[in-house]
Chain A
Amino acid sequence: MSGNDRLGRRAAPYLLTMPGMLWLVAFFLAPLVLMVTLSTQTGNLLDGFRQTWHFGIYPQVIWQYQHQFLRSFEYGGAATIIALVVSYPLAYWIAFHGGRRKTTLLFLLILPFFVSFVIRTLAWQFILADDGIVLGALKRWHLLPSGYHALATSTAVISGLAYNFLPFMALPLYVSLERIDRSVVEAAGDLYASGRDVFLRVILPLSLPGVFAGGLLTFVPATGDYVNADVLGGTRNNMVGNAIQREYLEFFHYPAGAAMSTILMVLLLVGIFAYARALGTRSIQEYV
């Protein structure tokens, strides 16, 4: 009985994780490998694709879509920095001075999630329309030239990304700030540190795990996004996501689409794992 029990104990974690892990291996890990395989095939939808190990597709798509790749990282990076700068004081205030309203404030922070991501972005398109509720009024009062537009610019896309992923930045920041032991902060004060020093030498360093987790959770989806570029951008704001989406779903150039998303995945995953190695996955996972 006891031997059986021990065996059961040893098998238990595997039995428990098996269904979930099988699902993830089949529909998350295996597809990543298969996508690399697909990227080296040649052919078309009608005649089918054949494996030819055509690695030439990689330099081809990099050359063809270099602007979109660069733009993605540029926009994703800018949106992450904006989200950090905008949400840090907010997270700080909720964590340190939120008092009883903390729960309500946090709820308000995640409330936008209850309205679909697509609809939120379309709402911004409506708000910022050339003759819309904001610009239209300013134009009528001659505060803006009639040809001015906010949409169809890189600023619009970056703002949209920063807006959409702001809560992903604010929440981990909040968690990390909330965890800071208040006695440490007070000790610094007692040791005659100025307010600025308390912030820069105590609070900020202790909140860095939150900054890193938030940065990751904002940068990755922002870089891979294409909805903001499509809805808020113009003809020259397409990101790599737009190109991947078109290659896959409109042109059926599966190998090209697969090659591009493989490149994006490798760039991001290498970055993420380097980042996680340096900081320990644990610390990031805790904030996810």
Chain B
Amino acid sequence: MKDPEPLDVSKLDSIRIDPALWRGLTQRRFSRRDLLKYTGYGAGSAGLAAFLAACGVSGTATKHTTPPVSAVEAFWKKQHKTGTLNFANWPDYIDKDDNGNSPTLLKFTQQTGIKVSYHEVIADNEVFLPKVLPALQAGQDTGYDLMVITNGDPLDELLKPGYLIPLDHSYLKTFEQYANPKIKNPPYDPGNQYTVAWQSGLTGIGWNSKKIKRPITTFFDLFDPAFKGKVGFFENLQDYPNAILVAMGLNPQTSTQDEWKKAADMVLEQFNKGQFRHFYNNNYIDALENGDIWITQAWSGDIQIAQLSVADGGDGYPEMRFVIPKEGGLIWTDNMCIPQHAQHPVDAIMMMDFVYQPQVAAEMTDYIQYISPVPAAQQILQGSDPAVANNHEVFPTTDDLAHWFPYKVFKDNAETEAWKTIFGAVTNQ
């Protein structure tokens, strides 16, 4: 998959769903095949790889120049394992025991002798990146050796200026062996030159079935006047804009600036009505559990952890529900990467490889319940926790993947700025 299949743009135009279809969809249970049929998008190109290929439309992600192989080799030759690793990750994104220690990290230390200083500092890409970008721009160490950043605009902000250290794949043998072929070699980082996947996940809708006594099916349930002031929306400029575009029946990749304005206006109208409680980052889950909000945009794994009992390592809110709106969900991948000037790159790349051991991946997935990049983990979990192994939101099928859209990838800086201006105007009120 060196060259992502070019996407047939003419086909994508037909993705707009007409009003008659909306009505049709609300009247009966919507099957995933329907979407494929109507959009004409899935035909022949289903699967995560195809969706990720859609990212290739722009080609910006691959704009960064490939460093000569010899330079990469020379760099890695000079590096040695130090026994220390500063790991920046999102909260609730690794397995933990009752004492707050992570079995995965303990096992890593046992196997490699590397002590991990694990920092749950990434509340949101758009909150975290600003903390490290200025250092990278100034050519300085960020203090972290390994960071987990979401594909799309955030990862581009690191890739385009060349802020990441190219990986030496001789350290990534486990990755090569066990990584899901669909997640390997993604369009936003061909050949995994700079990144390997940590986990993937979905953006859909989370809701509290104690507060809402009717099923939630469509994105526009978020705009139901009955929930006024009890609705959560993401603040980041990937999840909310892409979700509303998908809800409008558009493919984010081919959407136009006029459509962005329409989408932003639609959200602004709800905003002015006082529909939203707050624009959240990862703290939306607490608001949902506290009852501050009843329904919200949500990430799949968070809601699954919320549902689990405390004894099982969850939050103990079985009334929480997650649904992919019938208009379609968003799929994203968080990627491990090593920033330039990192002090312990060898330790970091060893961690990248370590988490691809099927047993490790299985234990982690069992706990955090996002989409694992290691298919072999599913077989292990079939034995130990079949509920997770058979959960489509953890191990999706090709059918599932067909109506999950990746985030919009931008052609150039001007497009990025236009997007940020249009959608930022809503959350920045």
Physical contact A–B (CB less than 8 Å) = yes
List A residues at the B interface (Cβ < 8 Å).
Answer: 44-46, 67, 129-132, 136, 147, 149, 151-152, 233-236, 238, 243, 246, 249-252
- Beyond the given pairs A149-B229, A235-B271, A238-B429, 7 more chain A to chain B contacts, judged by CB atoms under 8 angstroms and listed by A's residue number, are A46-B137, A234-B274, A235-B279, A236-B429, A243-B428, A246-B428, A252-B130
Chain A neighbourhood of B130, CB < 8 A: 249-250, 252
Taking a contact as CB atoms under 8 Å apart, the answer to whether B429 and A129 are in contact is no
Total chain B interface residues with beta-carbon distance under 8 A: 25
In angstroms, Cα B279 to Cα A233, docked, is 11
Given A236-B429, A238-B429: A129 and B292 interface contact (C-beta under 8 Å): yes
B127 at the interface (CB under 8 A from A): yes
Taking a contact as CB atoms under 8 Å apart, the answer to whether B229 and A45 are in contact is no
What is the chain B residue whose CB lies nearest that of A149?
Answer: B229
Chain A neighbourhood of B413, CB < 8 A: 44, 46
**From residue A40, how far is it (CB to closest CB) to chain B in Å?**
20
Chain A neighbourhood of B133, CB < 8 A: 45, 252
List B residues at the A interface (Cβ < 8 Å).
Answer: 126-127, 130-131, 133-134, 137, 160-161, 229-230, 271, 274, 276-279, 290-292, 413, 420, 424, 428-429
In angstroms, Cα B413 to Cα A46, docked, is 10
What is the chain B residue whose CB lies nearest that of A136?
Answer: B291
Determine chain A's interface SS by DSSP, over half rule: loop
Given A152-B278, A235-B278: A251 and B291 interface contact (C-beta under 8 Å): no
Chain B neighbourhood of A243, CB < 8 A: 428
Given A129-B290, A130-B290: A234 and B276 interface contact (C-beta under 8 Å): yes
Chain B neighbourhood of A251, CB < 8 A: 420, 424
**From residue A71, how far is it (CB to closest CB) to chain B in Å?**
10
What is the chain A residue whose CB lies nearest that of B226?
Answer: A147
Q: A46's contact among B127, B161, B229, by CB below 8 Å, is which?
A: B161
Taking a contact as CB atoms under 8 Å apart, the answer to whether A250 and B291 are in contact is no
Chain B neighbourhood of A46, CB < 8 A: 137, 160-161, 413
Most buried by B among A149, A152, A238, A249: A152
Task: Give 20 CB contacts A-B under 8 Å.
Answer: A45-B134, A45-B137, A46-B137, A46-B413, A67-B429, A129-B292, A130-B291, A130-B292, A131-B290, A149-B292, A233-B278, A234-B276, A235-B271, A235-B277, A235-B279, A235-B429, A236-B271, A246-B428, A249-B131, A250-B126
Chain A neighbourhood of B271, CB < 8 A: 235-236
In angstroms, Cα B126 to Cα A252, docked, is 11
In angstroms, Cα B279 to Cα A286, docked, is 43
In angstroms, Cα B133 to Cα A233, docked, is 29
Chain A neighbourhood of B274, CB < 8 A: 234-236
In angstroms, Cα B427 to Cα A243, docked, is 10
Chain B neighbourhood of A44, CB < 8 A: 413
Chain A neighbourhood of B429, CB < 8 A: 67, 235-236, 238
**From residue A204, how far is it (CB to closest CB) to chain B in Å?**
41
Chain B neighbourhood of A234, CB < 8 A: 229, 274, 276-278
What is the chain B residue whose CB lies nearest that of A152?
Answer: B277
Taking a contact as CB atoms under 8 Å apart, the answer to whether A151 and B292 are in contact is yes
In angstroms, Cα B292 to Cα A136, docked, is 11
Chain B neighbourhood of A152, CB < 8 A: 229, 277-278, 292
In angstroms, Cα B290 to Cα A136, docked, is 10
